[in-house]
Amino acid sequence: MAFNPDFDLFQLPEEYRELRSAIRQIAEEQIAPHAAEVDADERFPEEALKALNESGFNAVHVPDEFGGQGADSLAAVIVIEEVARVCGSSSLIPAVNKLGTMGLILAGSDELKAKVLPDIAEGGLASYALTEREAGSDAGGMKTKAVRDGDEWVLNGSKCFITNGSRATWVTVMAVTDPEAGSRGISAFMVHKDDPGFRVGGLEHKLGIKGSPTAELYFEDCRIPADRMIGEEGTGFKTALQTLDHTRPTIGAQALGIAQGAFDAAVEYVKERKQFGKPIAAFQNTQFTLADMKMKIDAARLMIYTAASNAERGVAEDGGKLGLMAAGSKAFASDIAMEVTLDAIQLLGGYGYTRDFPVERMMRDAKITQIYEGTNQICRMVMGRQILT
């Protein structure tokens, strides 16, 4: 962010402000009108996918040499924030496209990038398969295995809670290649939806983000070419951790957008709703609640933007650790999203509890941001360890 002496305040450079304006217009005109229906019908947001694909906002992070826009991490979080402001489910299109390809971008060969990234830039979806039924926060305890067979790897196992897993063209899959080496025996692979032995199982029925399918994935003697490994054998867990330094801020951006959307709805409502002969916005307790909501959102935005900007540079400017910044921004923003959406429901009273207004959906959507890409408890553990080392 740049210092503007004419206005004595910090603000985004003009290109980011223009980006926000462009994606906000698309979100409000083409995504927001379908958000309630997407949630109620638990269907994939096809309208959002079409709008994001046509505008190039579906995967802005893909380098331009592979057909993308080559946008930096700050631009990516702005896009996610603005889509989440109107529809949490739809924001997972750009967010998970980044999650599902970040490891490849960081550690993959140019040949593998050239095979995968143009598909995503042209409208395909990526996904990321790390979690298993018995390996959630303890990702190093995964059981999915990959065995070398000549010029192929053969995968066997399953993954669960995979966001957009049933719609993905390409999936980054973590699997054990050396059972005796612990986390150093985990490798990363790119699996295509048409690979033999790959199968999508059932979908989860969830509290929120109902328009984003959360799938179980099965690998039954799933054969993939040997050159689909990301990086060197045994580096998959390291790649996964590096990925999170870049993608935890995107979940923070999703949470931030949801919080902003709920705040905007609450402000609009309290100006119109009258009690005791005047708008409830005139009451001091309403104003204090709005002030607290605003402060929290602004603080979260600064943390998210700072983490995203530093992740792009590869180092924290003050010598700090990227993992600490990424985990902290994600945990803080998602906690704020829960607080703000609950406050918004309270301000709307009984109406806030109904589907006639979007804040109850936003509250349900916000909850998952405290859980995925590292629960907020795990994020605090990451922070604590890095603070002390």
Tell me the two tokens of residue 253: 């951006």
* Cβ partners under 8 Å of residue 111, min gap 6: 227
Residue 106 CB burial class (10 angstroms; 0-12, 13-18, ≥19): middle
- Of the candidates 362, 332, 330, 356, the residue with the CA atom closest to the CA atom of residue 344: 362
Q: What are the E-state strand segments in the chain?
A: 2-4, 9-11, 126-129, 145-149, 152-163, 170-176, 186-192, 198-203, 214-225, 229-230, 274-275, 278-279
pLDDT (tens digit per residue) in 60-82: 999 999 999 999 999 999 999 99
**Vertex 152 angle, CA 148 and 154, to 5°:** 60
Dihedral-angle region of residue 182 (phi above 0 means left; psi in -120 to 50 means alpha; beta otherwise)? left
Let me know if 54 is a catalytic residue. Answer: no
pLDDT (tens digit per residue) in 169-203: 999 999 999 999 999 999 999 999 999 999 999 99
47, 132, 360, 373: the catalytic one is 373
Bridge partners (DSSP) listed for residue 11:
2
Tell me the two tokens of residue 228: 């689909």
- Of the candidates 102, 182, 79, the residue with the CA atom closest to the CA atom of residue 138: 182
Residue type, 215: A
Distance (Å, whole) CA 331 – CA 161: 20
- Read off φ and ψ for residue 137, nearest 5 degrees: -60, -30
Residue 389 CB burial class (10 angstroms; 0-12, 13-18, ≥19): exposed
Residue type, 173: V
**Domains in the chain with CATH codes:** 2-121 (1.10.540.10), 126-232 (2.40.110.10), 237-387 (1.20.140.10)
DSSP secondary structure, 324-369, as one string: HHHHHHHHHHHHHHHHHHHHHHHHHGGGGGSTTSTHHHHHHHHHGG
Tens-digit pLDDT profile for the chain (389 aa)? Answer: 454 444 444 689 999 999 999 999 999 999 999 999 999 999 999 999 999 999 999 999 999 999 999 999 999 999 999 999 999 999 999 999 999 999 999 999 999 999 999 999 999 999 999 999 999 899 889 999 999 999 999 999 999 999 999 999 999 999 999 999 999 999 999 999 999 999 999 999 999 999 999 999 999 999 999 999 999 999 999 999 999 999 999 999 999 999 999 999 999 999 999 999 999 999 999 999 999 999 999 999 999 999 999 887 765 444 558 899 999 999 999 999 999 999 999 999 999 999 999 999 999 999 999 999 999 999 999 999 999 98
DSSP secondary structure, 31-55, as one string: IHHHHHHHHHHT---HHHHHHHHHH
Task: Give, for 315, the enclosing helix (H) or strand (E).
Answer: none
